[in-house]
Amino acid sequence: MGFKMFQFLASAQARCRLPLPSRLRPQIATLVGLAVAGLLTQTLGTPVVNAESPPRPNIVFVMTDDQGYWDTGATGNPHIDTPNMNAIADQGIQLDRYYAAPVCAPTRAGLMTGRYYLRTGLYNTRFGGDSIGLGEITVAQLLQQAGYRTGLFGKWHLGKYPGYQPQERGFDEFFGHYHGHIERYQFPNQVYHNGRPVEARGYVSDVFTDASIDFIQHAVESHDGPFFCALMFNAPHSPFLLDTSHYAQPEGDKTLKKYLDRGLPIREARIYGLIDRVDQNIGRLLDVIERFGAAENTLVVFTSDNGGVSKFWKGGMNGNKAGVYEGGVRAPCFVRWPNRIKPGQKVQAQTSHVDWLPTFCELAGVDVPQVRTIDGKSLVPLLTSGNDKTHHRYVYHTWDRYQPNDEKRWSISDDRWKLLCQVGNTATASKSNWKLFDLHADPGEKKNVAPQHPAHVDRLRTEFVRWFNDVTEGQAYTPVPVPVGDVPVDIEPSWATWTGKHIEYVFDGYDWDTIQGWKAPGEQASWKLDVDRAGSYRVRLIYGCRPLDAGGTLILRSGDDVTRHVVVASATADQFESHAAGVLHLEQGRVELVAEVAECPGNELMRLNRITLEPVK
């Protein structure tokens, strides 16, 4: 198939909204994108490296979750112990104005695609909006096709359903979790290995590090080409848990007491303890890379996914996670590569989370995708020279949980000036809410100088609106349809839309959310499905119901097919059990699944935790 044909396919894919079968979509999207990127040749060969080329580096990318710029010793915090994070900064380069997105999933989308998250279809951290489109090309796919062995260990948060999972997006090996956070840090049970649900023994940061070490050792000892290892810690994200098991709790208490003795409040001590534990694991990882003889030609990146949640010591910075002040979007970023990066450097150029894909592509000797906008720019020249010249003329931020907008929470900065607006969800934003800061004179964003510099205000606002219109063009920000195919699939409450006077959605942690309160006939929740093949599917309902409320009837329907289920009591409403609810016929393609109250004798029909669909073989 010629290059022009690949161009045609890629263009048609970008324009066409007609769905392909879900099992084919990732493969077709990847085939087209990688082909046009120049990675798919007639022989499916890896890039040619001549004899004089230096060996391509291994890449170890370490990202924490909710760790602020100020949460390391290298960035000036005198209260926290992070010797191994500090060592990466001392032995390499510190990107002092490195910007993540205000929250986690948008940063991860930018990291994986080299594109601002609003281009990828992702728009939320829950409610079905935390999945990047199946047509996106990830850095893992590009490196994998370039001959790298690829692994991700820890938090993914870019899609949990088949087709969206890491092992289907370019990672040879995945062990971690799909959600924004998990509830158990000791003996974690919301984790998966290459798509299969598993459980793990031990403390979560230790276990993810163990998996990364085993992956690296296997890659080194098998001489299977260079490796890309992404270690994505879920700490210090809440819940702020150190060791809690019968055996290990004394060790967790010891770390917690260390920070309490330094005068930190309990919440802050827990956060520092989580970061401390991550740092210990980074030390283990670095020691292993050294012991395996891989340190000299391994690029190690340490960073975080958004601004911080700690508040005890912020080094004068304004804002926290989810905001667009510097404290919400600047993250620590240290890069070490003994072969190429001079130690002890710090640069002030604006850099971004979208820069990693083009950076890693340059290191691997492959081209970035040519059929889509790539917002990032390779950091290789900056990393190897330490030059402070302008990298990005502008860096942009925006965040709204439900629908992207260019009014309520946004910012844009150049090398000196920053314009922002940050108002609450119920407020009406106006120009009076805009603030301009001179980051050279006022890095803490304390003095609004908008009245003194109207020309900078107009210039920056005009550029932000241009960018926002560009990245949102052609996008429809709605929950992805749940793929239904050859394996059982859980339909979660957060993907639903619901109608009725009493019905409500209650979030009490991923995998523990519910549709509840519904009792009037006609109150309903509905889900969009993408059915791979028409056929019959067994339905199971996982729910709780008080004994006094039991006996109601729930109708489940899709198209003209209907099944009914009589609600059975559990011990209490928040104790969930699985119940068979009949068989439902689903047509192929985009369909709707509706759950509706038929009758309810009590105060609540049920607390619906999820629906499982399993194909009848």
Report d(CA 441, CA 240) in Å as an integer: 36
Report d(CA 602, CA 272) in Å as an integer: 47
* Nearest by Cα to 479 from 162, 179, 131, 135: 131
| Adjacency order of strands within the sheet including 333-336 | 196-198, 191-193, 173-177, 149-155, 227-232, 58-64, 298-304, 333-336, 93-99, 345-352
Chain position carrying tokens 């601004």: 307
Tokens representing residue 565 in the block: 């289920």
What are residue 490's DSSP bridge partners?
A: 612
Mean pLDDT to the nearest integer, 483-503: 96
Quote the pLDDT of residue 31.
Answer: 52
Report d(CA 147, CA 166) in Å as an integer: 17
DSSP label of 297: G
Quote the pLDDT of residue 128.
Answer: 87
Instruction: Give, in order, the Cα–Cα distances in Å from 350 to each of 98, 134, 301, 437, 500.
Output: 6, 30, 17, 16, 48
Q: What is the SS3 assignment for 40?
A: coil
Report d(CA 260, CA 271) in Å as an integer: 11
Quote the pLDDT of residue 426.
Answer: 83
Report d(CA 530, CA 591) in Å as an integer: 6
Report d(CA 496, CA 492) in Å as an integer: 7
The model's confidence at residue 32, banded by pLDDT at 50, 70 and 90, is low
pLDDT above 90 coverage of the chain, percent: 87
DSSP label of 391: S
Report d(CA 38, CA 23) in Å as an integer: 24
One DSSP character per residue, 27-83 reads HHHHHHHHHHTT---TT-PPPP--TTSPPPPEEEEEEESS--TTSSTTTT-SS---H
* Nearest by Cα to 264 from 316, 310, 308, 312: 312
Mean pLDDT to the nearest integer, 477-492: 94
Per-residue model confidence as pLDDT tens digits over 289-336: 999 999 999 999 999 999 999 999 999 999 999 999 999 999 999 999
* Nearest by Cα to 112 from 85, 88, 91, 130: 130
Cα(first)–Cα(last) distance of the chain, in Å? Answer: 36
Distance of CA 138 to the CA centre of its chain: 13
Quote the pLDDT of residue 41.
Answer: 33
Q: Which fold has domain 482-615?
A: Jelly Rolls (2.60.120)
Quote the pLDDT of residue 35.
Answer: 53
> Cα-Cα-Cα-Cα dihedral of 447, 452, 458, 464, to 10°?
-10
Per-residue model confidence as pLDDT tens digits over 439-460: 999 999 999 999 999 999 999 9
Per-residue model confidence as pLDDT tens digits over 125-181: 998 899 999 999 999 999 999 999 999 999 999 999 999 999 999 999 999 999 999
Taking a C-beta distance cutoff of 8 angstroms, is the pair 397, 327 a contact? no
Question: What are the start and end residues of each CATH 3.40.720.10 domain in the chain?
Answer: 58-393
Q: Is the dihedral of CA 205, 206, 207, 208 positive or negative?
A: positive
**Does pTM surpass 0.85?**
yes
Quote the pLDDT of residue 19.
Answer: 41
The model's confidence at residue 20, banded by pLDDT at 50, 70 and 90, is very low
Quote the pLDDT of residue 44.
Answer: 32
Task: Give the orientation angle of helix 83-91 with respect to helix 266-291, to 10 degrees.
Answer: 50
Q: What are phi and psi of 412, to 5 degrees?
A: -145, 140
Taking a C-beta distance cutoff of 8 angstroms, is the pair 120, 374 a contact? no
Instruction: Give, in order, the Cα–Cα distances in Å from 286 to each of 68, 176, 364.
Output: 22, 21, 22
One-letter amino acid for residue 509 of the chain? G
**Strand boundaries in 423-570, DSSP class E:** 435-438, 482-484, 489-491, 497-499, 504-506, 514-516, 524-531, 535-544, 553-558, 561-566
Tokens representing residue 576 in the block: 């969930």
* Most distant pair of Cα atoms in the chain: their distance: 79
Tokens representing residue 256 in the block: 């917690």
Per-residue model confidence as pLDDT tens digits over 576-593: 999 999 999 999 999 999
* Nearest by Cα to 67 from 229, 349, 274, 373: 274
What average pLDDT is seen over the chain?
92
Report d(CA 495, CA 504) in Å as an integer: 13
Chain position carrying tokens 């150049």: 414
Chain position carrying tokens 């006939």: 521
Task: Give the orientation angle of helix 249-261 with respect to helix 266-291, to 10 degrees.
Answer: 120
The model's confidence at residue 45, banded by pLDDT at 50, 70 and 90, is very low
Burial of 359 (0-12, 13-18, 19+ CB in 10 A): buried
**Strand boundaries in 28-73, DSSP class E:** 58-64
Tokens representing residue 430 in the block: 């106006």
Q: What are phi and psi of 598, to 5 degrees?
A: -95, -45
Question: What are the start and end residues of each CATH 3.30.1120.10 domain in the chain?
Answer: 397-472
The model's confidence at residue 493, banded by pLDDT at 50, 70 and 90, is very high
Residue 23 has pLDDT above 80, yes or no: no
Burial of 451 (0-12, 13-18, 19+ CB in 10 A): exposed
The model's confidence at residue 14, banded by pLDDT at 50, 70 and 90, is very low
Q: Are strands 524-531 and 497-499 parallel, antiparallel or unpaired?
A: antiparallel
Residue 16 has pLDDT above 50, yes or no: no
Taking a C-beta distance cutoff of 8 angstroms, is the pair 471, 459 a contact? no
* Multiple choice CATH, 397-472, 3.40.50.300, 3.40.50.620, 3.40.50.11900, 3.30.1120.10: 3.30.1120.10
Quote the pLDDT of residue 10.
Answer: 40
Quote the pLDDT of residue 388.
Answer: 85
Report d(CA 612, CA 581) in Å as an integer: 10
Per-residue model confidence as pLDDT tens digits over 390-435: 999 999 999 998 899 999 999 999 999 999 999 988 888 999 999 9
* Multiple choice CATH, 58-393, 1.10.357.10, 3.40.50.2300, 3.90.1260.10, 3.40.720.10: 3.40.720.10
